[in-house]
Amino acid sequence: MRVLLHVLILLLLSFAFSTSTTIGSPAQDSESTTVTTVPATIQDPGNLEFSKRAWPQKLGIRSAFFARQWPAVDTVVLVPDVATWLDEITKWNMKVGRWPVLIEDDYYTHLFVRRFAPSTIIRRPSIGTLLPDDPVQLEALVRRKRITAWAGEDAASSGKTMNDLFRESKWPPPGIVATSFGDPAWPAALTLAIARGQLLRTFDTEFSDIGASVDTSNTTLLRTKVEKMFKESGWSWGKLGDQLQTFTLCRDFSVRARPLLPGSARINLQGVELNSPDPPIALTDFIGRDSELNRFAVCGWIFGDQVRCIYMAMCSVFIDRSSVALFNAYESRSGAEAYRITPAAQELKRAGFEVTSQTIERNASLQGWRRLVLGGLDSDVLFMNTSGQSARMELAGGDIGHTSDIPSLHQPLALQLIHSFSLQSPASPWTIGARWLDRGVYAYVGSCNEPFLAAFKSPLQVVKWIANYAPFLVASRQYQGPMSKPWRVVTIGDPLMLIERPGVNPVKRVVQGRPLQEGESDLRRDVLRQLRSDQGADAEVYRDLILLNQDDLAISLWERDRELAGSAEAEAILPLLFQRRQFANLVQAYRMIDEPTLNAKNLLWTSSLPRLSELNSVIDLEMLEGALREHLMSNDLDILIPHIRRLKGDQAVRPAVLAALELATTDLDQKRLRNLLAKKSSKNR
């Protein structure tokens, strides 16, 4: 591996770190900078003329070049636990290749596997051992396995560090990934450290309340702790364009910080009074700045439970992003002309991307949005312009949408959401940002507070950069002007993730490379064996057929065996009925489920919302009343109340709210339901 890297990368580095950059230096990287077109191939570093590229392009090309040194094996391995996951991922190496490894669940696995569409899906049984409970012991194990994956067991036993191996391989890491080994996000950190050739560091500082702010007294400690990691790295850092340029935080953390800002570092906009010395700003915009608050690294952030964090990292590394949707609710908003999506759509088409039919420039009403997403989004990337608060969005025509209107997805999604406060509380499921993340967004540019429109780069500006190898999160940040100061745009995900032009030097998949091992099962073979057994299709067969993208076969079996199917089978087929927009069949299957899961309720609601005006059945109305979602019960019921009045009379509203109150499990939902009850009582008076 060391020899391979030396041969392939040494020439690249002679260009990549030239100090004679003529365009796109950090000081020049503004909206007026011309984005130079990167040649169609990245296989020959000598043709790249790195000295003429802007630093974001250099960073992205390095990321793409490193990724192409690994054979991409056309296999997904599903495992039952994190110990087996660790054992599997550290089988990656540059000779054998790499492949996605997921802890199997009923939601994120479905999204990822259907979009990745591998030729082989393997289920691996548990290795039957537990990982150490002690974070120090776990870290030692993980670091040893990481070295084994990079250079073999001998290297792991030699006492060499990854820095030693990077230097032997002539590979300067592009960034640092930091995690706490007591936090569920550590597997995501390991994934990105291996897949991107980055440093892996431990970050155990206690700032774990995601919805809170790091107070002023701790921001200096936080900044210096991160800066120390870069100082002690052994690689050049200090300005954008050096060797280390990204910082990925993989752990629970506060979304905001309140540093004491000198006057020169405060946002100063004409007509806007922002005189507070410690305004709330996005932590991901604060981290990676020096003592003068100049940016030296672009920060990304991954947090959540273990299954979701692994999914987010695997999406960043393995999913192709070739289709884009754009949605603009700024019909006549003052100052929003530059944020129109038509120019961005035209630029995307010129770059070879598919701009999907889910793109809307005008008439972006609530009903238009609901109809657009009723079967999920058919896009890899979404640029969306709205206004509002953390749990409401203002659409065209004065329409108001809420958290309930964030749809179910049927494939992974990268998102730029120009909207105030969407990430104010990114772990609170009643907020817009948290809902997008829970539904499967793995890269997200949004805001934790009121940022003002100018804080966001327009879709066109971002598209011009990503179409020429600037990583998505890097392309979305401001590097010059007043909005380059510490502010409120949050960047979630892998900062080295690219949205590469489709068909340009694609990563080719290798079918062979991960053979089936003893005790493992091949899903395709298992399904064929089951179907030949004349036992009918059970829930497992439906799930596996959908994972294998055998949709027509799954639907035909459902139509044949529906009368004999039970609750488990109905729930298994539901995502496919949702994606195909077979509403009547989806409702029928939903009624067969004994205790619908949250995901089943989400599919029902996303499919039902655009059809509420056509609702004329009390039975169907009561089905939705019984499907109110945890954390969103008040939100869902508020949407239903006009239809309860229409179909059952005004006297039916109070009993519906009281019934929901009995089921509500969160203080916030109970408070909001009581407010609905008070609103109903005041109307009666």
Which pLDDT tens digit goes with each residue over 146-195? 998 888 888 888 888 999 999 999 999 999 999 999 999 999 999 999 99
368, pLDDT greater than 80: yes
124, pLDDT greater than 90: yes
396, pLDDT greater than 70: yes
pLDDT number for residue 36? 63
The C-alpha R_g of the chain, in whole angstroms, comes to: 25
pLDDT number for residue 52? 76
10, pLDDT greater than 50: no
Q: For strands 199-202 and 120-123, give the pairing.
A: unpaired
**What gap in Å lies between CA 146 and CA 4, rounded to an integer?**
18
- Kindly indicate the confidence band of residue 361, based on its pLDDT and cuts at 50, 70 and 90: confident
Structure tokens at 587: 């409702």
pLDDT number for residue 434? 97
- Kindly indicate the confidence band of residue 204, based on its pLDDT and cuts at 50, 70 and 90: confident
pLDDT one-digit tens code per residue, 431-451: 999 999 999 999 999 999 999
**What gap in Å lies between CA 477 and CA 316, rounded to an integer?**
18
595, pLDDT greater than 60: yes
Strands in 448-576 per DSSP E: 489-492, 509-510, 521-522
Least confident of 12-21, 45-54, 198-207, 285-294: 12-21
Average pLDDT over residues 8-12: 34
pLDDT number for residue 597? 96
**What gap in Å lies between CA 582 and CA 68, rounded to an integer?**
40
Average pLDDT over residues 454-476: 96
Contact 585, 420 (CB under 8 A): no
Structure tokens at 282: 């996005």
Contact 103, 79 (CB under 8 A): yes
Structure tokens at 176: 């640092």
pLDDT number for residue 274? 63
pLDDT one-digit tens code per residue, 482-526: 899 999 999 999 999 999 999 887 788 898 888 999 999 999 999
14, pLDDT greater than 60: no
**What gap in Å lies between CA 488 and CA 256, rounded to an integer?**
8
pLDDT number for residue 524? 93
**What gap in Å lies between CA 460 and CA 474, rounded to an integer?**
15
Scanning 72-134, the segments in alpha helix (DSSP H) are: 82-89, 108-116
Mean pLDDT, the chain, integer = 88
Sign of the torsion formed by the C-alpha atoms of 221, 433, 670 and 450: positive
Q: Which residues contact 175 (CB under 8 A, 6 or more apart)?
A: 196, 198, 199, 244, 245, 246, 247, 248, 297, 495, 496
Selection from 422, 461, 487 nearest residue 272 by Cα: 487
Contact 190, 146 (CB under 8 A): yes
pLDDT one-digit tens code per residue, 57-101: 999 999 998 998 888 999 999 999 999 999 999 999 888 899 999
pLDDT number for residue 660? 94
pLDDT number for residue 268? 76
**What gap in Å lies between CA 452 and CA 447, rounded to an integer?**
10
pLDDT number for residue 25? 29
Average pLDDT over residues 141-145: 94
pLDDT number for residue 541? 94
Which amino acid, one-letter code, is at 424?
A: Q
**What gap in Å lies between CA 113 and CA 110, rounded to an integer?**
6
CB count within 10 Å of CB 256 equals 24
Structure tokens at 42: 């990245």
Average pLDDT over residues 311-315: 98
pLDDT one-digit tens code per residue, 404-414: 999 999 899 99
* Residue showing tokens 């991107």: 196
- Kindly indicate the confidence band of residue 6, based on its pLDDT and cuts at 50, 70 and 90: very low
Element (H, E) at 544: helix 539-547
pLDDT one-digit tens code per residue, 532-551: 876 678 999 999 999 999 99
- Kindly indicate the confidence band of residue 568, based on its pLDDT and cuts at 50, 70 and 90: very high
- The percentage of the chain sitting over the pLDDT mark of 70, rounded to a whole number, equals 89
Contact 304, 184 (CB under 8 A): yes
* Residue showing tokens 């974070």: 135
221, pLDDT greater than 70: yes
pLDDT one-digit tens code per residue, 645-682: 999 999 999 999 999 999 998 888 899 999 988 876 55
Q: Which residues contact 220 (CB under 8 A, 6 or more apart)?
A: 259
Q: For strands 101-103 and 75-79, give the pairing.
A: parallel
2, pLDDT greater than 50: no
Average pLDDT over residues 101-106: 97
Element (H, E) at 202: strand 199-202
Convert 424-450 to b/e letters by CB count within 10 Å (16 or more is b).
bbbbbbbbbbbbbbbbbbbbbbbbbbe
Average pLDDT over residues 421-428: 94
CATH number, domain 319-492, options 1.10.3720, 3.40.50, 3.30.70, 1.10.287: 3.40.50
Average pLDDT over residues 129-145: 95
pLDDT one-digit tens code per residue, 244-279: 999 999 999 999 988 888 888 888 776 565 666 778
pLDDT number for residue 682? 55
Selection from 327, 353, 357, 321 nearest residue 341 by Cα: 327
pLDDT number for residue 270? 62
